[in-house]
């Protein structure tokens, strides 16, 4: 297969983990005889510094022309405490989502046995938890009508039936491929937009008789996720609720630095780690590249290149088993591996496989 990949390394640790992702992808493509080309493009603070726009037109064009985007992270502290900043790196991410029509954000919440002891939850609660959060990504308060006045400000949570239907369809398709249990998370006891979600879900449910659909208020879902994370199989929710619940989901596994995600929709799909740009670690060769590497696995799987994805997942597991780990997950007394060293080890294992 021919694959053309747009590489958006972004800020902070982005460029370091991006390099590992690209090297791993190249190694897998060599092994399976795929022809891959990488086109690097600017985004985030790096793009603001270079051209004054966090998602420049040229980057948009490169993304549109690619088969997939391998994204790393954006964000820089110099913008965080400046409410007067005219442009922010995060706007680049939102612009990319909107312009590429990436309405479905797929965030798997998965545990690694050797890391469950890092979870803030008791091992017996969290071990084996394995669910997917499908977050709507181009609607809700993020993109609804806004006012930012001196004495009044608001954000509107608006959804159309079409927007709700298409994300529920993605969620049902995931549920069909998994344990056939879908939880629709909303706040239908208070919010009109949530009542539309629930109504549309109730209309669609009979078309998927194999799937058990249940409905849960978001406050209850946040609680259930820490009380009984294994309850969930596929969860679907609107943009803001999904933002909050996926941070919760990633941290209960104990492996936040290891979780990848995919955003798909109308145009080029984007694959990225769920963690941020960790500016304090920039250039220190300590960032864990595994979430980026697993994003490459998700990328292959998206194109139905299942063996390619499997190989990456197997070698990531092996690296953890053999303690080839970056400092934040290294066991006491274990060898020290940096971002580059973990990357090199994985590439060598791919070649040997
Ligand atoms: C995420 C992030 C983004 C979001 C930020 C960086 C704009 O938190 O991808 O979850 O809120 O969607
Ligand atoms: Mg978030």
- Domain CATH for 32: 3.40.718.10
Specify whether 53 is located in the same domain as 132: no
Region of poorest pLDDT, from 62-71, 110-119, 123-132, 183-192: 110-119
Q: Is 340 tagged catalytic?
A: no
Q: Is 130 tagged catalytic?
A: no
Q: Is 317 tagged catalytic?
A: no
Domain boundary among 255, 275, 300: 255
Q: Is position 155 within any domain?
A: no
pLDDT surpasses 80 at 308: yes
Specify whether 220 is located in the same domain as 246: yes
User: Torsion-angle region of residue 298: left (phi > 0), alpha (psi -120 to 50) or beta?
Assistant: alpha
Q: Which two tokens stand for residue 198?
A: 């629930």
CB within 8 Å of 221: residues ≥ 6 apart:
183, 185, 235, 237, 245
Query: Ligand 2: distance of its center to the CA of 244 in Å?
Result: 6
Specify whether 124 is located in the same domain as 207: yes
Which protein residue has the closest C-alpha to ligand 1 atom 8? 243
Q: What are phi and psi of 301, to 5 degrees?
A: -60, -35
- Sign, CA dihedral 309-313-318-319, equals positive
pLDDT (0 to 100) of residue 254: 85
User: Minimal CA–CA distance to 274: which of 302, 255, 297?
Assistant: 255
pLDDT (0 to 100) of residue 79: 87
Domain boundary among 255, 279, 307: 255
Query: Ligand 2: distance of its center to the CA of 37 in Å?
Result: 30
Q: Is the CB of 90 under 6 A from ligand 1?
A: yes
Specify whether 278 is located in the same domain as 292: yes
Specify whether 52 is located in the same domain as 89: yes
Specify whether 342 is located in the same domain as 224: no
Which protein residue has the closest C-alpha to ligand 1 atom 11? 243
Query: Ligand 2: distance of its center to the CA of 293 in Å?
Result: 20
Range of the domain at 295: 1-103+265-353
Q: Is the CB of 243 under 6 A from ligand 1?
A: yes
Q: Is 247 tagged catalytic?
A: yes
Q: Is position 156 within any domain?
A: no
Q: Is position 242 within any domain?
A: yes
pLDDT (0 to 100) of residue 214: 97
User: How many CA within 13 A on the CB side of residue 112?
Assistant: 23
Contact of 213 with 266, CB cutoff 8 Å: no
User: Minimal CA–CA distance to 218: which of 250, 254, 192, 189?
Assistant: 189
Q: Is position 260 within any domain?
A: no
Q: Which helix (H) or strand (E) holds 105?
A: strand 104-110
Share of the chain above pLDDT 90, in %: 90
Specify whether 130 is located in the same domain as 250: yes
Q: How confident is the model over 171-223, as pLDDT tens digits?
A: 999 999 999 999 999 999 999 999 999 999 999 999 999 999 999 999 999 99
Q: What is the pTM of this model?
A: 0.94
* Structural domains in the chain (count): 2
Specify whether 10 is located in the same domain as 71: yes
Q: Which of 243, 302, 318, 340 is catalytic?
A: 243
With the CA atoms of 344, 273, 309 and 317 taken in that order, what torsion angle do they form, in degrees rounded to the nearest 10? 60
Specify whether 96 is located in the same domain as 36: yes
Specify whether 319 is located in the same domain as 336: yes
pLDDT (0 to 100) of residue 148: 92
Region of poorest pLDDT, from 100-104, 205-209, 235-239, 325-329: 325-329
Q: Is position 20 within any domain?
A: yes
Domain boundary among 255, 278, 313: 255
Q: Which residues pair with 216 in a beta bridge?
A: 185
Q: Is position 109 within any domain?
A: yes
Q: Is position 151 within any domain?
A: no
Specify whether 237 is located in the same domain as 120: yes
Q: How confident is the model over 55-98, as pLDDT tens digits?
A: 999 999 999 999 999 999 999 998 887 778 889 999 999 999 99
Specify whether 177 is located in the same domain as 243: yes
């Amino acid at each position: 297969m021919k694959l053309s990949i747009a590489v958006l390394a972004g800020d902070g640790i982005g460029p370091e983990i991006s390099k590992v992702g690209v090297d791993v992808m190249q190694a897998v493509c060599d092994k399976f005889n795929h022809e891959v080309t990488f086109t690097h493009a600017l985004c985030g603070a790096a793009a603001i510094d270079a051209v004054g726009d966090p998602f420049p037109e040229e980057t948009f064009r490169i993304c549109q022309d690619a088969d997939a985007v391998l994204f790393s992270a954006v964000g820089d502290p110099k913008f965080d405490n400046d409410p007067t900043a005219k442009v922010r790196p995060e706007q680049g991410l939102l612009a990319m989502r909107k312009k590429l029509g990436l309405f479905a954000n797929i965030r798997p919440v998965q545990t690694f046995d050797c890391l469950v002891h890092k979870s803030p939850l008791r091992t017996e609660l969290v071990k084996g938890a394995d669910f997917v959060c499908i977050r709507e990504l181009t609607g809700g308060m993020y993109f609804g009508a806004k006012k930012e006045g001196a004495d009044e400000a608001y954000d509107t949570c608006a959804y159309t039936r079409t927007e709700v239907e298409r994300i529920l369809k993605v969620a049902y398709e995931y549920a069909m491929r998994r344990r056939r249990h879908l939880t629709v998370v909303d706040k239908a006891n208070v919010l009109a937009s949530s009542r539309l979600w629930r109504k549309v879900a109730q209309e669609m449910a009979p078309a998927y008789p194999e799937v058990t659909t249940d409905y849960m208020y978001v406050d209850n879902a946040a609680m259930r996720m820490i009380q009984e994370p294994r309850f969930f199989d596929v969860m679907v929710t609107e943009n803001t609720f999904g933002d909050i619940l996926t941070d919760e989901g990633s941290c209960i596994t104990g492996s936040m630095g290891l979780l990848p995600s995919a955003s798909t929709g109308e145009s080029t799909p984007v694959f990225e780690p769920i963690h941020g740009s960790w500016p304090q670690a920039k250039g220190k060769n300590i960032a864990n590249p595994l979430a980026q590497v697993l994003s490459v696995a998700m990328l292959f799987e998206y194109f139905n290149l299942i063996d390619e994805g499997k190989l990456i997942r197997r070698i990531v597991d092996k690296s953890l088993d053999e303690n080839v780990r970056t400092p934040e997950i290294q066991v006491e007394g274990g060898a020290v591996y940096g971002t580059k060293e973990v990357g090199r080890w994985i590439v060598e294992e791919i070649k040997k496989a």
